[in-house]
Amino acid sequence: MIKILCNPGLKERHWEEISAVTGHNINPEKKESQMTLKAALNYDLDSHLEEIEIINETATREFAIEIIMNKQLAEWEPITALIKPWRETGTFTVSGTSIEEIQQMLDDQTVKTQTMKGSPYAKIFERRIADWEDWLQYTFNLTNAWKTVQQTWIYLEPIFSSPDIVKHLPMEAGKFRDVDANWRSLMSRINQTP
């Protein structure tokens, strides 16, 4: 019983369930609570051990999901885009390695998130998991688009740097100039805050 009562996974909702089962207001996390070993013995908690163990098991499994979600979020804190100058163009690109590492982390976290989502103990975190899953999908789509645009820009930049090409394809060159200006502006901002 002491081990159960010291479970760090027990949250307010679990203490309310334990209180309802035992008929006593039990919540050691509240300052006004005078939960002591003597009080636990006086409340005869052992007679409700089986029900309390079920609540404890639920709390433990929910807590494990919460830890995984918090860990996934924390893994993004140190992530920065690895920016490098692109040749003599005066602009930058994101390192392919950086994008690949981000995509690998996205793949791993998507699988973990889908596994969590399938757990019967994830119901309490349903909204948070759905929001996280949306963010992972958005970030995955963003990195794919970024990779595609960057590869295309790298391919076209030397072509449209040629005066002959600009002369023969003025309309396409004008479109590329617009894209190029946007790309350089974006990469300049990202270089300042990777």
pLDDT at 46: 87
Q: For 79-192, CATH number? A: 1.20.140.100
- At 41, is the pLDDT very low, low, confident or very high (cuts 50, 70, 90)? confident
124-171 pLDDT tens trace: 999 999 999 999 999 999 999 999 999 999 999 999 999 999 999 999
- At 32, is the pLDDT very low, low, confident or very high (cuts 50, 70, 90)? low
pTM check: above 0.85: no
The set of residues, in sequence order, having a beta carbon less than 8 Å from that of 28 and lying 6+ positions away, is 5, 15, 35
Domain borders along the chain are: 2-58, 79-192
As to burial, measured by CB atoms within 10 angstroms (0-12 exposed, 13-18 middle, 19+ buried), residue 131 is exposed
Whole-angstrom distance, CA of residue 47 vs CA of residue 22: 9
pLDDT at 106: 97
Count how many residues are written for the chain. Answer: 194
pLDDT at 145: 93
pLDDT, average across residues 59-88? 94
Is 65 a residue whose pLDDT tops 90? yes
- At 180, is the pLDDT very low, low, confident or very high (cuts 50, 70, 90)? very high
Mean pLDDT taken over the chain:
92
**What are the angstrom distances between the C-alpha of 14 and each of 8, 47, 51, 65?**
11, 18, 12, 15
- At 31, is the pLDDT very low, low, confident or very high (cuts 50, 70, 90)? low
- Within 10 A of 46 (CB to CB), how many other CB atoms are there? 10
The pair phi, psi for residue 32, each rounded to 5°, is -80, -10
167-178 pLDDT tens trace: 999 999 999 999
Is 39 a residue whose pLDDT tops 80? no
